[in-house]
Amino acid sequence: MPARLLSLDAFRGLTMAGMVIVNNPGSWASVYAPLLHAEWNGCTPTDLVFPFFLFIVGVAITLSTKHGGVWPIFRRAVTLILLGWFLGLFPVFTLEHLRHLRIPGVLQRIGVCYFAAAMLYRWLRQSGPRQDGRANDRRAAAVISAIAAALLLGYWGLLMLVPGGSGLPGDMTPEGNLGAVIDRAMFGDRLWKKTWDPEGLLSTLPAIGTTLLGLLAGLWLRTAGSPQRVLTGLVVGGTAATLLGLAWNVVFPLNKALWTSSYAVFTAGLGALLFAFCYGTIDVIRSRGWARPFIVLGSNAIALYVLSGMLAETLTFVTWAGPDGKPASLHGWIYRNLCMPLFGSPYNASLLFALGHLAVLYVVLHWMYKRGIFLKV
């Protein structure tokens, strides 16, 4: 198995393109429903973006030609966390802003999940038999499966059996669930919604489970043998996980904000199926034309994430006094004066703004790709 799969880059690029579009509408008051997160329980296409990325992180760990020591893994994880805090402060780096900085976050969770999965994989690689790599991979898959199951089942038990903010077990409300109680105790009001956070401490456990499911997919890539067998395994495993997540949803609802165990399994299953599509078209039948823009985006995913966040904050930060005396932003001016005139519908104009945001970033990423400039952590 090659160290770098174009299909994985394409899958990552598709995921990142989705992230940019759903995070940057022209107006949050005019967004098509599939481009919004579910209000609480449920799952929209937008709710697939984050777990897909964590699934990809798991796959990529197994394909690295340099498994690295503890320090490189720790350094990468800390760098991701620091980048998350950097974006939380940008562009106002003041002590007052720092006092109210949100502690959890997307990049912070990615850093923690990467660290846990990479350290486990490193330990399994080093502790297994030196002579038989295939046997080592089978042993690693068994251990990873057991740990992922323990995390997902254990998290289910914690939310269902341990009393939350209401004093009753099974509290799955935004403010009353056990994770929100823990986050308020640990971080005070430095949370996304002041009283709860979708990237909180407790829900990071099942998010690690998502990453471990990606590890299993990566191990399958290493050990399955023929491309046809790899593809079959991804389709069968993805279908089984998707159906299991839907069945689990009956007693433990799909919920991105809580990262419920059913949600972790369901989204990992869909991630495996989308990866199977990319792998089948790009690496098996060699149909790559459609994937080239996504390969560009996926090859520099961290740069895309950071630049997207900085561009969005800059467009909002640049303000002036409008005709009515109220502050007007560059973001609002572009939406009203460039996007709205092209479409009568504010929903279409809002989507156009998001696509324009992505197009600008693609030009930058394409320039970097052609010159071999990649942001590594």
From start to end of 67-153, where are the E strands? none
Q: Are 26 and 349 in contact (CB under 8 A)?
A: yes
Residue 339 lies in a domain: no
Residue 7 lies in a domain: no
Pair type for strands 327-329 and 319-321? antiparallel
Task: Name the residue with higher pLDDT: 375 or 137.
Answer: 375
Neighbours of 359 (CB within 10 A): 10
Mean pLDDT in the chain?
94
CA distances 32 to 20, 137, 348, 350, 352, Å, are 15, 44, 9, 9, 12
Point out which residues pair with 328 in neighbouring strands.
320
Q: Which sign does the torsion angle of CA 158, 107, 81, 195 carry? A: negative
Q: How many domains does the chain have?
A: 1
| pLDDT more than 90, % of the chain | 86
Residue 139 lies in a domain: yes
* Residue 138: per-residue pLDDT: 85
- Matching residue, tokens 């599509």: 277
- Res 193 pLDDT > 70: yes
Residue 364 lies in a domain: no
Rounded mean pLDDT of 48-76? 90
Q: What are phi and psi of 163, to 5 degrees?
A: -60, 140
* Residue 1: per-residue pLDDT: 46
Point out which residues pair with 327 in neighbouring strands.
321
Rounded mean pLDDT of 55-63? 95
134-188: pLDDT as tens digits = 777 888 999 999 999 999 999 999 999 999 999 999 999 999 999 999 999 999 9
Structure tokens at 130: 């030196």
Residue 351 lies in a domain: no
* Residue 377: per-residue pLDDT: 84
Residue 294 lies in a domain: no
Which of 135-144, 249-258, 315-324 is most confident? 249-258
206-241: pLDDT as tens digits = 999 999 999 999 999 988 889 999 999 999 999 999
Residue 355 lies in a domain: no
Q: Are 23 and 311 in contact (CB under 8 A)?
A: no
Residue 106 lies in a domain: yes
Q: Are 20 and 358 in contact (CB under 8 A)?
A: yes
Structure tokens at 340: 């709205």
Residue 29's domain comprises 25-289
* Phi-psi map region of 19: left, alpha, beta (phi>0 left; psi -120 to 50 alpha): alpha
* Residue 30: per-residue pLDDT: 96
- Res 131 pLDDT > 80: no
3-state helix, strand, coil in the chain (%, to 5): 70, 5, 30
Torsion of CA 300, 220, 142, 52, to 10 degrees: 40
